[in-house]
A = this chain, B = another copy of it.
Amino acid sequence: MAARSPRGFGQYSGIARALERVGERWALLVLRDLLVGPRRYSDLKAALPRIPTNILSDRLRELQEAGLVRRVPIVRGGYELTPLGRELEPVVLALERWGWSVLGDPGDAEAMSHEALAMALRSAFRPDAAAALPPTEYVLHVGRASVAAVVDGPVLEVVPIGPDAVPQPRPTTPADAATATVEFALAPSALRDLVAGRADAAGVPVLAGDADGVARFARTFRIETVDPPSAGAAGDAAVA
């Protein structure tokens, strides 16, 4: 169908087909947000402040035509992933993990949305490490975004909290009795250093719960990063 179209890549290949569906600008960011849960048009726009409204509209239509997204019947302006769309989670997680190697520091007008934070935690989650630790609910505040990450054995559930965020079924086990809770706040770059293993858990102010819950967090959520070449070789490496 989209085989020989002018915008196709003219190649019979899985990646080429995938990029024909989700390779356009903003598409994977919209899909990432929908991976966190169903969202309304205005939610998506709020989570992606710089997306032009016509582009959001175009992408949602294209993703529906491609069978990755469908409308939520009852909610006006509501969208959710189809099973095919949900299968993109490994792609999004892989991109998220790789991106941490080139994250740098937040720019002036750059913020972290609830959804970005939620998917970052999902991509950093280490089931093996978590299985050896007691069940814990981590409540994180990063910039203006807050999420609750409930870890029970090798299972993680992340729920955005706060005034925004579409109503969503609360985590399956509201409080497993034995579930400890730790709450703390970090700057975005501090979260990066903690998850990348470049900073220690000490120095993170704990708002509530066990003080070494942050160390447990750092063992549970970890992304292995690679240092980019330090602009030594060829190329001028845009220093600005």
Contact = CB atoms under 8 A, between A and B. Distances in A.
A98 B90 contact: yes
Interface in A97-132: 97-113, 116, 119-120, 123
B112 A11 contact: yes
A61 interface: yes
B94 A17 contact: no
Interface in A201-234: 223, 226-229, 231, 233-234
A97 B101 contact: no
A10 B50 contact: yes
Chain A: number of interface residues, binned into ranges: 35 or more
A88 B83 CA distance: 25
A118 B32 CA distance: 29
A4 B109 CA distance: 7
Interface stretch (A23-31, A36-44, A155-163): A23-31
Contact of A23 (B8, B25, B104): B25
- Which 3 pairs show the lowest CB-CB distances between chains A and B? A3-B107, A14-B99, A18-B99
Contacts of A90: 94, 97-98
Given A14-B98, A18-B98, A84-B226, 12 more contacts: A9-B29, A9-B48, A10-B49, A11-B50, A13-B29, A15-B92, A17-B102, A18-B99, A84-B227, A87-B101, A91-B95, A91-B98
